[in-house]
Amino acid sequence: MEERIIDKENSRKIKVRKVAEGDDVTDALAPEGEEEEQEVILDIDGEEYDEDLVGLTPSKLQEELERRKRAEERAKETHEKLVAQADALFAAEKYREAAPYYRQATFYDDERAERAYWDCMTERGTTFENLLGEAVTDELAAAPDGIRTAVFVQLGAKIRAEKKALEEKVPPLKERVEAGMGTRREAFGANRKYYLLRFGIAFLLMIVLATACAVSSSYIVRTRGAGPLIATAVLGGLALVAMGVMFFFARGLYLANRLCRENERYSSTEDGAVLEEYLDRIEALDALLAAEAGLPGEEPAEEETEGEPEEPEEPEETGTEGEPDALPPEEEE
């Protein structure tokens, strides 16, 4: 039998007391001098105490430690292969091909691989096109401060310069696009009213003719003359014609509504598509610059107040020793 006791003075050691079979362990703190007992101390490597290893027999403990060692060796070998492949591609300036290998190597807590990954994404600090995107921007925002600082030291000025240039182009282009939209809005609105009015008239006419046809058909069996039959046929034919006219104007009304909806989108015209592209790019640049927030030395500047600064109020004069606050009234003679 075995009794495992954790050494309180050193939590990285486990005492395993072997007792002869057939004997029961009655007192864990009994003096260790009996012949049938044997104590083995197992020293567990590592900085932190692993509770998963508590309760294992010496053989199982040794197997678990060997298994972990083999897993670490395999992980190290895989990591070295990834870094070697990435370094070869990076040396050949194939940055897009090297980035996925460095990205996988970062899962092994490799700081060098993470720095190399962002060097690939920025192509050694020459472009920020690969950083535009919600997923990559969020990934950059979660990167260590040192990496973010290096990225924005190299590319921060370029990002701000492009954003400023786009913001200068947007107002005149937006004014021109919205002016064209307003002009077309009036024409498209009049076109929609045209088809809506005629569709309504054709629909009502079809309802009236169909109702009259139904009423006249009820007299066919009541009279012997051919009048109700002829009226029913004529009214039915006119109702079908009115239905065809109604469908014609319904199609025109559908197209007119679609033109009105399309006119409200910037992408419906060439200038509008360019404007929408500018706005989307400005939004992406803002998101990228937001990843710079929180870096050391990037405290927001204090807003300057308009006008002259207020002068500090002078403290009220209080009486000092030898000089009372107020003189006592003169005594009457």
More confidently predicted of 282 and 52? 282
At 54, is the pLDDT very low, low, confident or very high (cuts 50, 70, 90)? low
**Res. 309: pLDDT tops 60:** no
At 320, is the pLDDT very low, low, confident or very high (cuts 50, 70, 90)? very low
Q: What is the average pLDDT across 24-51? A: 48
Q: What is the average pLDDT across 208-224? A: 86
Task: Give the residues across from 16 on adjacent strands.
Answer: 4, 40
Q: Write down the residue that tokens 């169909």 correspond to.
A: 210
Integer angstrom CA distances of residue 148 from 41, 155, 294? 48, 10, 10
Q: What is the average pLDDT across 118-143? A: 88
Q: Is 123 exposed, middle or buried (0-12, 13-18, 19+ CB in 10 A)?
A: middle
At 331, is the pLDDT very low, low, confident or very high (cuts 50, 70, 90)? very low
At 209, is the pLDDT very low, low, confident or very high (cuts 50, 70, 90)? very high
Distance CA 239, CA 233 (A): 10
Distance CA 250, CA 264 (A): 22
How confident is the model over 261-271, as pLDDT tens digits? 999 888 888 99
Predicted pLDDT at 158? 92
**Res. 43: pLDDT tops 60:** no
Predicted pLDDT at 75? 83
How confident is the model over 82-113, as pLDDT tens digits? 888 888 888 888 888 988 888 888 887 778 88
Proportion of the chain above pLDDT 90, given as a percent: 29
Q: What is the average pLDDT across 140-165? A: 89
More confidently predicted of 58 and 144? 144
More confidently predicted of 48 and 275? 275
> 186 Cβ partners below 8 Å, 6+ apart?
none
**Residue 236: which H helix or E strand, with range?**
helix 227-263
Beta-strand runs (E) in the chain: 2-6, 13-19, 37-43
Q: What is the average pLDDT across 296-312? A: 46
Predicted pLDDT at 308? 45
**Res. 31: pLDDT tops 60:** no
How confident is the model over 179-196, as pLDDT tens digits? 999 999 999 999 999 999
More confidently predicted of 237 and 71? 237
**Res. 140: pLDDT tops 70:** yes
**Res. 76: pLDDT tops 70:** yes
At 226, is the pLDDT very low, low, confident or very high (cuts 50, 70, 90)? confident
**Res. 330: pLDDT tops 70:** no
Sheet of 13-19, strand order? 2-6, 13-19, 37-43
At 165, is the pLDDT very low, low, confident or very high (cuts 50, 70, 90)? very high
**Res. 260: pLDDT tops 70:** yes
Q: What is the mean pLDDT of the chain?
A: 77
Predicted pLDDT at 303? 39
At 47, is the pLDDT very low, low, confident or very high (cuts 50, 70, 90)? very low
How confident is the model over 151-161, as pLDDT tens digits? 899 898 999 99
* Percent of residues in the chain assigned helix, strand, coil, to nearest 5: 60, 5, 30
